[in-house]
Amino acid sequence: MFEFLNPGKKKKGQLGLKIIIVGCGKVGITLVERLSREGHDITIIDQEGTVVTEIANLYDVMGIMGNGASYSVQMEAGIDEADLIIAVTESDELNLLCCTIARRVGHCAAIARVRTPDYNIESDYLRDKLDLAMIINPELEASREAARILLLPSALEVNSFAHGQAEMIKFQVPEGNIMHGKTVSGLRKELRSEVLICAIERDGEVHIPDGEFIIHENDILSFVATREDTIGFFDHIGFKTNRVKNTMIIGGGKAAYYLASQLIKMGIGVKIIEIDKARCEKLSILLPKAIIINGDGTDQDLLEEEGIEYAESFVPLTGIDEENILLTLYARQVSQAKVITKINRINFKDVISNLDLGSVLYPRYITSEAIIAYVRAKTNSTSNNIETLYHMFDHRVEAIEFHVAEESEITNVPLKDLKLKKDMLLCFISRNEKIIIPGGHDRILKGDTVMVVTRDTGFNDIRDILE
């Protein structure tokens, strides 16, 4: 049984893909918002009629109430003409079934959200045998980002590029730091490491700095470097670079399991506080090297008893944003711990940004960015594919990594001779597993990977960097 709830309207002159999104939860809504804004023809499917109606009217997309794994529902949604189906319901099995049916009925690519650890172990097998374009796991991706931050606790964010060879690090300049009052070019001359400052936020405004930009205390900087050069840079400006030795995690869900697994492999001690006794017993089996405490992680007395004041890092991973925020604020008061806060909803973001929450993770954004990078690459008619996409500073800036697969007007030309767009910075070239922080005489070659930071969001091709 299905029902059309909004006929939808295709925007005039729209050249985007025809995309079907199954599931209108947090990730589904984020994808609708972002992909419709980028000019794609969106159809949503969900079994909750009121949710479908609200989203369809808000974003002017087609809405169908029904089971996304139903052949008849998919046909009514236009699966035979679709370019892509994205299944992001709460059920892994339903997502995989949606994609399997779509691949048999239509000729579209398929992306499934799969979160269960058992399936994650088999993700490569499932992707290959079910012929999926991508399997995405929000909790796993969020935990990887959290682990990168705990390995470099001075950072607010750590994003990986060039298959881990380069990183983009975000941090805040403390009051009285040696960086205050120096120009970007002047600071770079002092350094013995190759570091490129690519974005600076000051008083709510984001700048793509040139060499004469003067750094102030309390600025929030993002820079690109290898891990080795990052450590050298932080040492130079007086920042701690040692990884944390232990962490306290509140909540024992999937994200906690994924994070704990990675930290234990890195030699970091893990303590998890989980209120559900049966879940504690399961975690004890899955994570024999972790300390599992059965108790209420929001109980102040329990936190003190378990040594929150001595914890080097603290990560609340409950399913309730308000609890995560309050726990972080409490940890800030009673300890010197590095804190990471997971937030699922985006409501009251202006209020949240003014709180001292340390590093903030938004799993829905991490998921949507991986999918949007794939969609942009698929939209692009050339083979210069997007490898990685990150949004920075509340989606006002994009960091995009392109693979240069063919010769074009941007290759074999000194960078100083290219007419590049304003508010855009070419941050590094990856060539033969070497990271190059480029100067004016460097050239982009076929086969390179190139990362750019831009305020002109929506790049699909490396040639978009040209005026």
CB atoms within 10 A of CB 63: 27
Write out the two tokens for 354. Answer: 């003014």
Give the pLDDT of residue 403.
92
CATH 3.30.70.1450 range(s) for the chain read 142-237, 371-465
Residues in the chain with pLDDT values less than 70: 1-15, 346-350, 380-384
Question: In CATH, which superfamily holds the domain spanning 371-465?
Answer: Regulator of K+ conductance, C-terminal domain (3.30.70.1450)
> What does each C-alpha distance from 361 to 143, 375, 440 come to in angstroms?
9, 23, 36
Query: What DSSP line would sit under 175-205, residue for residue?
Result: TT-TTTT-BHHHHHHH-SS--EEEEEEETTE
CB atoms within 10 A of CB 443: 15
Give the pLDDT of residue 381.
56
Give the pLDDT of residue 15.
59
C-alpha to C-alpha distance for 21 and 13, rounded to whole angstroms = 22
Judged on CB neighbours under 10 Å (0-12, 13-18, 19+), 178 is middle
C-alpha to C-alpha distance for 22 and 74, rounded to whole angstroms = 10
C-alpha to C-alpha distance for 431 and 446, rounded to whole angstroms = 10
C-alpha to C-alpha distance for 31 and 35, rounded to whole angstroms = 6
Write out the two tokens for 19. Answer: 């995309």
Q: What is the DSSP letter of 462?
A: G
Q: Which residues pair with 338 in a beta bridge?
A: 313
C-alpha to C-alpha distance for 450 and 386, rounded to whole angstroms = 10
Give the pLDDT of residue 1.
41
DSSP three-state, residue 411: strand
Are 430 and 449 in contact, with CB atoms under 8 Å apart? yes
DSSP three-state, residue 221: strand
CATH 3.40.50.720 range(s) for the chain read 3-136, 246-361
Topology given in CATH for the domain delimited by 142-237: Alpha-Beta Plaits (3.30.70)
DSSP three-state, residue 285: helix
- The architecture CATH gives domain 246-361: 3-Layer(aba) Sandwich (3.40)
In the block, which residue shows the tokens 């726990």?
Answer: 327
In the block, which residue shows the tokens 């991973």?
Answer: 317
CA 370 to chain centre: 7
Class of CATH domain 3-136: alpha beta
